[in-house]
């Protein structure tokens, strides 16, 4: 095994998997999906569908016990309603704070778990689909360049130099991620982004708004658009 890819089943991680497969055989790639207590399992089913599409093995981990005390609105354990509106609008309400859908250090935990898996199977690269839009302002601090660089250093040091992070989209916005994915033929109809777990995407939560905009900026319709 050469590469571990964090695969949530959304647009960014699915495109990241496609990138990892550009110069690597499917049997050398292990996708890792993590359940962290989110309200629905639509995204997890998407991760399975995307992994199956590309013929890569999927390792599923349940890390939800770690977040049982979090009041993040993305989680089953939260009583609060999911926020609507773009991340920029949400941030305007609480400047300098993460948005209410920020899951405490989730991406750090996922990268650490991926590092443990990578170092267990002899893989040296951990593909991570974070992009610049998510980190914008302080919406998701665990998507920032500063975080990814520090985490990469921690993984290099802590694994005795065995593993490191590859984040192909860290300088891109979401439209550029979609652009790369369209070129690579990512089956976006199999992905899922919406925080709500309805039949169709709600079109009103932060990630729906971001996703729709990213497709529109590429002059194409999101295959999930209702």
Six-digit token string for 130 = 């974070």
The owner of tokens 């993984």 is 155
Which range in 7-15, 17-25, 78-86, 118-126 contacts its own copies by CB under 8 A?
118-126
Contact assessment for residue 3 and residue 27, using Cβ atoms and an 8 Å cutoff: no
- Residue nearer to its own copies on the CB measure, 18 or 44: 44
Task: Please give the size of the binding site for its own copies, defined by CB under 8 A.
Answer: 49
Six-digit token string for 208 = 């729906």
Please give the Cα distance from 222 to 215 (Å, whole number). 6
Specify which residues 125 forms β-bridges with.
3, 164
Distance of CA 17 to the CA centre of its chain: 11
Q: Does 81 bind its own copies (CB under 8 A)?
A: no
H or E, element range at 150: helix 145-158
Q: Which position among 112, 132, 196, 212 is part of the footprint of its own copies (CB under 8 A)?
A: 112
Q: Which position among 61, 180, 212, 217 is part of the footprint of its own copies (CB under 8 A)?
A: 61
Q: Does 147 bind its own copies (CB under 8 A)?
A: yes
- Residue nearer to its own copies on the CB measure, 12 or 222: 12
Q: Does 120 bind its own copies (CB under 8 A)?
A: yes
Rounded to a whole number of angstroms, the minimum distance from the CB of residue 122 to its own copies is: 9
Q: Which position among 138, 180, 212, 220 is part of the footprint of its own copies (CB under 8 A)?
A: 138
Which range in 14-22, 136-144, 179-187, 215-223 contacts its own copies by CB under 8 A?
136-144
Query: DSSP assignment of 46-94, as one string?
Result: HHHHHHHHHT-EEEEEE-GGGGTT---TTBTT--SPPP-S-HHHHHHHS
The owner of tokens 């916005």 is 173
| SS3 state of residue 104 | coil
Q: Does 163 bind its own copies (CB under 8 A)?
A: yes
Which range in 19-27, 81-89, 107-115, 166-174 contacts its own copies by CB under 8 A?
107-115
Contact assessment for residue 107 and residue 127, using Cβ atoms and an 8 Å cutoff: no
Q: Does 154 bind its own copies (CB under 8 A)?
A: yes
User: Residues in the site for its own copies, rule: CB under 8 A?
Assistant: 61-63, 65-72, 97-98, 102-109, 111-113, 115-121, 138, 141-142, 144, 146-147, 150-151, 153-161, 163
């Amino acid at each position: 095994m050469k590469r571990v890819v964090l695969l949530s089943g959304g647009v960014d991680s699915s495109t990241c998997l496609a990138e990892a497969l550009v110069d690597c055989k499917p049997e050398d790639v292990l996708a890792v999906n993590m359940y962290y207590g989110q309200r629905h399992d639509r995204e997890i089913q998407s991760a399975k569908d995307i992994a199956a599409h590309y013929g890569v093995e999927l390792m599923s981990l349940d890390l939800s016990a770690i977040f049982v005390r979090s009041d993040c609105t993305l989680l089953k354990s939260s009583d609060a309603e999911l926020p609507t509106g773009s991340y920029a609008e949400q941030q305007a309400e609480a400047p300098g704070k993460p948005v209410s859908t920020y899951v405490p250090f989730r991406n750090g935990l996922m990268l650490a778990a991926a590092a443990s898996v990578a170092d267990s199977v002899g893989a040296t690269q951990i593909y991570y689909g974070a992009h610049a839009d998510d980190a914008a302002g302080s919406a998701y601090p665990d998507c920032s360049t500063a975080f990814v660089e520090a985490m990469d250093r921690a993984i290099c040091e802590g694994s005795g130099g065995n593993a490191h992070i590859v984040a192909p989209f860290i300088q891109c916005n979401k439209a550029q991620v979609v652009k790369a994915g369209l070129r690579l033929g990512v089956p976006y109809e199999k992905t899922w982004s919406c925080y709500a777990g309805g039949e169709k995407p709600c079109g009103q939560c932060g990630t729906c708004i971001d996703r729709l905009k990213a497709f529109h900026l590429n002059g194409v319709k999101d295959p999930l658009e209702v």
